[in-house]
Structure 1
Amino acid sequence: MRIYKVGGAVRDRLLGKPVTDIDWVVVGATTEEMLAKGFRPVGVDFPVFLHPKSGEEYALARTERKSGRGYGGFTFHASPEVTLEEDLIRRDLTINAMAEDDQQNLTDPYHGQRDLEARLLRHVSPAFAEDPLRVLRVARFAARYATLGFTVAPETLELMRQLSESNELEALTPERSWKEISRALMEDQPQVFVEVLRACGALKVLMPEVDALFGVPQPPAHHPEIDTGAHTLSVLQQAAIHKQPLTVRWACLLHDLGKGLTPEQEWPRHIAHEFKGLKLIKAVNERFKVPRDCQELALLVGEYHTHGHRAHELKPSTLLELLQSFDVFRRPQRFEEFIAACEMDARGRKGLEEKSYPQADYLRGAATAARNVAVQPLLEQGFKGPELGEAIKRERLKALKTYKEKA
């Protein structure tokens, strides 16, 4: 029995990055031997075990063969005869196909270290094309390591293009796709994830609504970058720079989808794009079974982001409607995330990345003014039921009028 550290732990150590998750592969062992040493089995499809003390995962060396469509369409074979090289060749990228023994001696049969130095994301073997999820994984790695200068090798991008054109991406489950998308959006350069998907044709398959934004012009006076797709990528980049949570980043990606529906003869204006885009945002949310908090914020940002930009111009009644739409009295955090998404949208314009966004404090102040309306005096006046609701609304409207006059 020989045990090796494999994959990301080896890659990140060589890159000088912190090692978080460690994967282990066991060569020359049987399931019975693992159980005898106290390892606990957890693998359903293939033999994976938890270490009796550390709880880390140890997998028996295995080979795999394509047996059906999609991510799960594989037959695995694990036995003591499977070599370390055979186990490593089934991995996606050369930089993930290296192993170390307990003395940090490197096993690198597919030149992963060379590709690390060349800053290349390159597939290990033609079997890469058997797993459509790898298109998303490579794009995610590109987003993670873009700051280090990594790019996708041309031959790997070509394989990704072939996968995108083969209908294999459609076999991915919503859950697997969302797991990769959500992780990619939380990387340092999430816009690179979208760029790579677009470069290989996968964006058109997975998110045609986002792909349709590229080449659609906007008014130069408001958007010096002009192209809506370029603007969306810049907004996403700003969200990463400002360490926004996943909810905000997802909303930033989808906020302008309605502009992809504007007829060419109406370009560069996009009248009512906020409302037109809602059906597209819903479609993307449903396609990937996106978590509810991400779904809700994306829809609200899509509908109201221009309200955020025009905050100072809004009538008190419109301002109150906005606050009520977000249920700001019970869910203040969601309104904060809306404000953040609006600010990222404003900063995601060429040359305006550092421009202040006074609307943020104005909206927060409006929410505070409305929230400070006391209910107890109204109860003491005898208001109850629907009448109480109307009385609270009147008082909040009065508070917002005063706030607007003083602001």
Structure 2
Amino acid sequence: MLTNNSEIKNSQLNTYLVGGAVRDMLLNRPIKDKDYLVVGASVEQMKALGYQQVGKDFPVFLHPKTKAEYALARTERKQGQGYTGFSCYFAPDVTIEEDLKRRDLTVNAMAMHDNGEIIDPYNGQKDLNDRILRHVSDAFLEDPLRVLRVARFAARYHKYGFTIAEETLRLMQEISASGELKSLTPERVWQEMQLSLADGGASSDTNSGNPEVFFEVLKQCNALAELWPELDVLWGIPNPALWHPEICSGLHTMMVLQQAVLLTQVIPVEQSDNKTAVRFAALCHDLGKGITSDKLWPSHKGHEKTGLPLVEKICRQLKVPSHYKQLALKVCEFHLHCHKAFELKASTLLKMFDQLDIWRKPEEFELFLMACKSDFLGRLGFDNRPYPQEQYLQAAVKAARLVTAKPFIEQGLQGPAIKEAMAKARLSAIVKIKADSAHLNPT
């Protein structure tokens, strides 16, 4: 049976725009999603007005016409481990201040009434003006997912000058030390990582992110060691100064990721998943250096092959999509082949093309080149150096792919003889490109 207020009308609901939409509006940043909070209403009242409830234990409803999300004001209490171990209380007596207090950061704990009034009980506007990411309350400690979320916000808003408050970073370190990060599901960890690699913003804002900050923050609060130890260990491992003036393998990997962000800007919005795949491959390309014996430093001979099981491991652990994994494996194994393309024999290039499967996946080869070029440019003082290997390999691939089976079939060849003839023709095409491209060789 409905309460006495069951006749409440849509216009009479006490609704507020909350969270990211208010934050981004105040930053003059594109608003992607709008979420609304309803104070003083019940589940029965929302249903009577035609709102569709989403889930049984969570008071979120879809507007009957716009399908926008409206959530009842609620409070939460920690009852178990992890980010799902909460009991949720929602009733008309929950105030807006109580609801906002359970949110992660002060800049996300603001609300705007229909009349334009900003409700800001935890000084979110001041922190927004001061460019500070600060937790709302000590309840922050109860949700390990917030470590990743704050790292993602730090990456997304880095270009605006935002930094993490020292006291918030200490709480993130406390969560990392507690072991609670292990309670996060692989899917949730990957979702946060993928959002950061994709920059996580509106489509008009996706080319200007700093996903490297996400991983640097995780490193700083000791979460990376828990979530991806094979990446974490790269900091402090040296490289030869001639080719890596930045020396540190971890710093190099972050520089490579920065270059991957720049180079993938040419990828159309409708293929944005390819951007993320290239950036993930950039992160994985040098994982093998993490298991090089320190007695061999700064040399890392064979790190391409030794890195492959580590790529497989993180992809299995986080349930990374198959096409991300396949590109990351190819970049890990063949990025030095790409850099040394002019030194390789035509037969070696053909063998690499076979293993990269350029015949069936020519589009993926372009992504492979982007990641390899990112590796070359992602070094101290290398960012403006030419990379003629790209043009050379593109020409070689184009020439090799022009070879088809048709003329050999017309000659009467069959079965394995066709394959052998095509391989010889492809090799000849690559040899010709190699001769024609000699002027590109930087040596």
Provide TM-score, normalisation by structure 2.
0.90
| 2:344 pairs with 1:314 | yes
The separation in 2 between residues aligned to 1:176 and 1:201, in whole angstroms, is 18
Aligned position for 2:62: 50
Match of 2:218 among 197, 217, 220: 197
Q: Aligned runs of 1:95-174 on 2, under 5 Å?
A: 95-174=107-186
One-letter amino acid of the counterpart of residue 116, structure 2: Q
The separation in 1 between residues aligned to 2:261 and 2:358, in whole angstroms, is 25
Gaps of 5+ in 1: none
Aligned position for 1:323: 353
Aligned position for 1:4: 16
Q: Are 2:107 and 2:127, in contact at CA under 8 Å, matched by a contact in 1?
A: yes
The separation in 2 between residues aligned to 1:140 and 1:27, in whole angstroms, is 29
CA root-mean-square deviation? 1.0
| 2:281 pairs with 1:279 | no
Aligned position for 1:390: 420
Q: Percent identity?
A: 54
Match of 1:295 among 313, 325, 349: 325
Match of 2:75 among 47, 51, 63: 63
Q: CA deviation at 1:14?
A: 0.7
The separation in 1 between residues aligned to 2:245 and 2:90, in whole angstroms, is 57
SS in 1 for 2:77: strand
The separation in 2 between residues aligned to 1:54 and 1:292, in whole angstroms, is 35
SS in 2 for 1:41: strand
Aligned position for 2:241: 220
Aligned position for 1:237: 258
Aligned position for 1:90: 102
Q: Aligned runs of 1:352-363 on 2, under 5 Å?
A: 352-363=382-393
SS in 1 for 2:387: coil
| Partner deviation per Cα, 1:214-243 (whole Å, 9 max, x = no partner) | 001100111111111110011111112233
| 2:364 pairs with 1:334 | yes
One-letter amino acid of the counterpart of residue 63, structure 2: H
Instruction: Find runs of 4+ consecutive structure 1 residues off by over 6 angstroms.
Output: none
One-letter amino acid of the counterpart of residue 56, structure 1: A
| Partner deviation per Cα, 1:70-121 (whole Å, 9 max, x = no partner) | 1211111111111111111111000000000011101001111111011110
Provide TM-score, normalisation by structure 1.
0.98
Q: Aligned runs of 1:14-33 on 2, under 5 Å?
A: 14-33=26-45
Gaps of 5+ in 2: 1-12, 200-208, 266-274, 438-443
The separation in 2 between residues aligned to 1:280 and 1:198, in whole angstroms, is 18
Q: Are 2:263 and 2:370, in contact at CA under 8 Å, matched by a contact in 1?
A: no
| 2:205 pairs with 1:184 | no
Aligned position for 2:270: none
One-letter amino acid of the counterpart of residue 90, structure 1: R
Aligned position for 2:399: 369
SS in 2 for 1:265: coil
One-letter amino acid of the counterpart of residue 23, structure 2: R
One-letter amino acid of the counterpart of residue 231, structure 2: V
Q: CA deviation at 1:45?
A: 2.9
Name whichever of 349-358 and 386-395 sits farther off. 386-395
SS in 2 for 1:77: strand
| Partner deviation per Cα, 1:282-306 (whole Å, 9 max, x = no partner) | 1111111001111111111000000
The separation in 1 between residues aligned to 2:404 and 2:88, in whole angstroms, is 65
Q: Are 2:36 and 2:71, in contact at CA under 8 Å, matched by a contact in 1?
A: yes
The separation in 2 between residues aligned to 1:198 and 1:398, in whole angstroms, is 49
SS in 2 for 1:266: coil
Aligned position for 2:269: none
Q: CA deviation at 1:384?
A: 2.3
Name whichever of 339-348 and 395-404 sits farther off. 395-404
The separation in 2 between residues aligned to 1:24 and 1:46, in whole angstroms, is 14
| Partner deviation per Cα, 1:253-300 (whole Å, 9 max, x = no partner) | 111011111111111110100001111111111111001111111111
The separation in 2 between residues aligned to 1:48 and 1:33, in whole angstroms, is 13
The separation in 1 between residues aligned to 2:246 and 2:212, in whole angstroms, is 15
Q: CA deviation at 1:383?
A: 2.0
